[in-house]
Amino acid sequence: MSTDPHRLPHDVVPSRYELVVDASLDDERFRGSVTIDARVVQPVDTIVCNAKGLTIDSVTLDSRGVTTAATVRYDHDAELLYIDPATPLSPSDIRIQLEYHGTYGEGLVGFYTSDYHHDGSDRRIGVTQFEAPYARMAFPCWDEPEFKAVFQISVVCDAGLAAVSNGAERSRTTLADGRVLVDFAPTMSMSTYLVAWVIGDLEASETVVARGIDIRVLHRPGHGNLAAFALEVAAHSIEWFEDYYGIAYPGDKLDLIAIPDFAFGAMENLGCVTFRESILLVDEHDANRSELERSATVIAHEIAHMWFGDLVTMRWWNGIWLNEAFATFMEFSCIDAFRPDWRVWSSFGLSKSMAFDTDALASTRPIEFEVPTPADAEAMFDILTYEKGASVLRMFDTWVGSDRFRDGIHRYLKEHSHANTDTADLWRALSAATGVDVGTVMDTWILQGGHPVIGVERTDRGVRLRQTPASFAGADPVASHRWVVPIQITAGNGEATTSHHVLLDGSELEVDLGGAPEWVNVNDGFNGFYRSAYSPELREALGLAAGRLDEIDRYALIDDAWAAFLGDRLDPVGLVSTVGRVAGVATGPATWRRIASLTGELELLIEPSDRPALYRWVAATTLAAAQRLGLEFSGEPLGGDDPERRDLRAVLFRLAGIRGGVDAVVERARHLFTDDAALDATDPDLAAAVPDVVARHGGTDEFDVLESRFLAASTPQEEMRALNSLTLFTDPVLVARLCELCRTQVRTQNAPFTLAAAMGNPVCGTDVWRFVSARWDELVERFPSSSIARMAGGIRAFAGEDLVAEISGFFAAHPVEHGALTVAQHLERTRVNAAARRRLGGIATVLDAG
Ligand code: BES
Ligand code: ZN
């Protein structure tokens, strides 16, 4: 047992909570009453549990049929509550009864309120967010994942309000004062961070049933037309996950609830999943591909947690990576089955690119690390946990085969249902199912930071592979780790290709391919979490074969080229020629999204005087692609209704308009922006790109239009699109208006992300940084604490040496709570930018020649 002052002793263990929450949402306080059944396992003279910001009004204790008085003490710093019985307790079953009150949480955690406007009046929702660790702000409890218990929850609220919680509603009773008591079915035994309730003026959708489970979407009034998609995804997910896991859905119903103010994307409370509105509520006919995909994957992600996380839970917060990495991996698997034509594994490539980008820094971290206090776990909710973690699982899954992997997962969940686990428990189950010593392979990926670059040279018989740690130039030196790398090779000779599967567990490996290949791809399907670095002849050969590769492998070519450039292993000429070559044959939206983001990064890195050459290159490249692919920018909607082509056209349109400044595209966007009938006649993907293109080349009039659209939006999508477009204006006066809007009117759930995006504005990003740094204390106070390090991520757009130095100084004086490592990564990344800028000196000539 741990002696850490933040950890609770295990001498008294709760098994059941009966909780009544009495909430008048307009009051400052809520009241609660909780009866806790617990077992004293060894003699104690005090009971220690968690509470934060709660005041205990009365406490009694039942032990062996005798009710005794008790007193309480608080340790506010450690968020502990001590319950001292009149006489010491010997091992027995006890019942603790506490009456208490508390105040609604700040920063969108605990039991907090969320406001919105409807029909000319202000409305309020009361909602909980307990991960991690905020249940203690709402009721006294053993607020650590290992203390699983049954929760029997009731809520007292004004009549006419909806109330939902983890369990299905059992009864609704009107009280003497006219208010109602809503009583919910007890939950399975689970961790406190999964407890939830929501009270407010919410409407429920129709109920859809999947495998006997009632599914509903709850939302504020007026959004009933935006629930159908979520219901469809949720029904698919329940069915798909029941089949995948081979275990029945562990709850008694599933409510998906859209919350107007929500710090995260969504939260996997058992049977009572909460979401930010823009993710859950979409209009299927107006939403573009990215919006639909995001909505579907997040819903699937949370439903994946109902088993992996809720039914089987990490013992302590150091295991959170597994929870989140696994759910992220599953969200793609589940949605790939939902809409195979979406090819979501290609989109996964984009997430992976972001993970690589942080993981090549010296300041990266191992996926799993020590988490002494629950607050330290906050630093774990980052790109490395989610995207690198999921990538590593995907690499393993494709290596051992999805069926065997699934067998291991089934075994693990069966064995540990209703209990808690460590990472090693999963490795054990996977080893048993696959016959592979999983720990030895996986530990090299989980317990050390970074990833390898696999160097490839041609030999007489095949290839020689060699691993070195990935690194960027201009950054700090990286640690010299070595990985056990599952490698999937495709080798080409003339028309023939062959596949090979090898494990690189030393620093070098000779692979016999039966002869020297013409070309090889050593990361087939881009499933491995490593970079490929070909000898010049093999790189040239692979580039020539690009037209024959799968789209995801073409994606990998440019993604690897970008990393090689940042690592100073590839010069600007090699970079531009690789991107140009892939652009000449690319057919998928994900590849074009990567070309768009890559040229966006280049725009920020190169000297402003070189930008016109980049714009010319983008214009020529996108126009050539549109022509090659038969996509029309300026004319009518596409013939046919191929969603992938629509998405592709919109990606190219946006890129050609924003960064290519192609006149016909900008004109077309302006026309669609002002002509509603024409806009309605076009497809939703193109329509969504229109305001972005207009904003990039727009002035005050367009800003006014988009600002009012944002303020008066009737759907969450409309609101988010308008807000995102506002970050693209390049007039400093308008950018200043946006900053002010973020400070005053944009919900705190969105403002930090909008400010981060606006720092990426190639013309006025620095102004945004000046604004943020000048008002730092005010913004940190206002915004959710989990979003501060992400807001700071906006600085990754900067490459000027003086600015980079200045920002370093700023963060030395203004450390971000629980965000020290993330900020160190952002800062290191800006030094990489500065070094890259120096190497891009002659880029204009290269671009004009390419
Ligand atoms: N459990 C998390 C939400 C969470 C994150 C709570 C950090 C507390 C701290 C949830 O399952 C999740 O991963 N949400 C994501 C959405 C997602 C699919 C990437 C989020 O909120 O960003
Ligand atoms: Zn999650």
Cβ atoms < 10 Å from Cβ of 834: 18
Ligand 1 atom nearest to 276, measured from its CA? 21
Is 264's C-beta closer than 6 angstroms to any atom of ligand 1? yes
Average pLDDT over residues 789-811: 96
Q: How confident is the model over 528-586, as pLDDT tens digits?
A: 999 999 999 999 999 999 999 999 999 999 999 999 999 999 999 999 999 999 999 99
| Distance of CA 270 from the midpoint of ligand 1 (Å) | 14
Burial degree of 171 (CB within 10 A; 0-12, 13-18, 19+): exposed
Rounded to 10 degrees, what is the CA torsion of 145, 296, 446, 792? -90
| Cα 265 to middle of ligand 2, angstroms | 9
Could you give phi then psi for residue 195, rounded to 5 degrees?
-70, 145
* Residue 65 neighbours by CB under 8 Å, 6+ apart: none
pLDDT of residue 215 exceeding 50: yes
Q: How far is CA 22 from the centre of its chain?
A: 33
Backbone angles phi, psi at 548, to 5 degrees: -95, -10
Nearest-5° Cα angle at 285, 281 to 291 = 50
CA of 305, closest atom in ligand 1: 11
Q: How close is the Cα of 266 to the center of ligand 1, in Å?
A: 5
Which numbered atom of ligand 1 lies nearest the CA of 298?
18
| pLDDT score recorded for residue 651 | 97
Return the percentage of the chain with pLDDT > 90, whole number: 94
**725 has pLDDT over 70:** yes
Span from the CA of 387 to the centroid of ligand 1 (angstroms): 12
Residue 378's Cβ-side half-sphere holds a number of Cα atoms within 13 Å equal to 22
Alpha helices in 505-638 (DSSP H): 536-544, 551-566, 572-583, 589-605, 611-629
- For the chain, the average pLDDT equals 96
- pLDDT surpasses 50 at 149: yes
| Ligand 1 within 6 A of CB of 132 | yes
Judged against a pLDDT cut of 90, whether residue 818 lies above it is answered with no
Protein residue with least CA distance to atom 1, ligand 1? 267
Model confidence pLDDT, tens digit, residues 150-179: 999 999 999 999 999 999 999 999 999 999
Q: What is the mean pLDDT of residues 793-797?
A: 98
pLDDT at 494: 87
626-682, pLDDT tens digit by residue? 999 999 887 655 545 688 899 999 999 999 999 999 999 999 999 999 999 999 888
Atom of ligand 1 nearest to the CA of 386: 19
Omega into 132 within 30° of 0, i.e. cis? Answer: yes
Q: How far apart are the CA of 435 and the centre of ligand 1, in A?
A: 33
In the three-class reduction of DSSP (H, G, I as helix; E, B as strand; rest coil), residue 773 is classed as: helix
Give the tens place of pLDDT for each residue, 311-353: 999 999 999 999 999 999 999 999 999 999 999 999 999 999 9
| DSSP 8-state assignment for residue 186 | P
**Predicted pLDDT at 1:** 44
CB 155 within 8 A of CB 167: no
Predicted TM-score (pTM) of the model is 0.97
Model pLDDT for residues 280-321, shown as the tens digit of each residue: 999 998 999 999 999 999 999 999 999 999 999 999 999 999
Local structure of 549: helix, strand or coil: coil
Whole-angstrom Cα distance, residue 504 to residue 491?
Answer: 17
Closest residue CA from atom 10 of ligand 1: 267
Task: Tell whether ligand 1 has an atom less than 6 A from the beta carbon of residue 131.
Answer: yes
Distance between CA atoms of residues 652 and 655, nearest Å = 5
Measured from the CB, is residue 268 less than 6 Å from ligand 1?
yes
Say whether pLDDT at 132 is over 90.
no
Neighbours of 817 (CB within 10 A): 12
Cα–Cα separations (whole angstroms), residue 810 to 464, 523, 758, 795, 805 = 47, 41, 19, 12, 9
Compute CA distances 769 → 413, 724, 742, 748, 812, whole Å.
47, 17, 13, 18, 16
Residue 301 CB less than 6 A away from ligand 1: yes
pLDDT tens digits, one per residue of 462-485: 999 999 999 999 998 988 999 999
Write down the pLDDT at residue 636.
59
Q: Read out DSSP for 61-83?
A: EEETTEEEEEEEEEETTTTEEEE
Q: Which of 836, 808, 813 is nearest to 824 (CA)?
A: 808
- What amino acid positions are annotated as catalytic residues? 302
Structure tokens at 478: 């990286």
With beta carbons less than 8 A apart as the criterion, state whether 504 and 454 touch: yes
Query: Is 267 close to ligand 1, i.e. is its CB under 6 Å away?
Result: yes
Q: Whose CA is nearest to atom 9 of ligand 1?
A: 131
Q: Within 13 Å of residue 736, how many CA atoms lie on the same side as its CB?
A: 4
Whether 2 has a pLDDT exceeding 70, the answer reads no
CB 49 within 8 A of CB 80: yes
Please give the full DSSP string across 290-356, using - where no structure is assigned: HHHHHHHHHHHHHHHHTTBTTTBEESSGGGHHHHHHHHHHHHHHHHHHH-GGG-HHHHHHHHHHHHH
Best probe residue, ligand 1, of 259, 267, 306 (max atoms within 8 Å of C-beta)? 267
What pLDDT is attached to residue 633?
A: 82
On the question of pLDDT at 226 being above 90, the answer is: yes
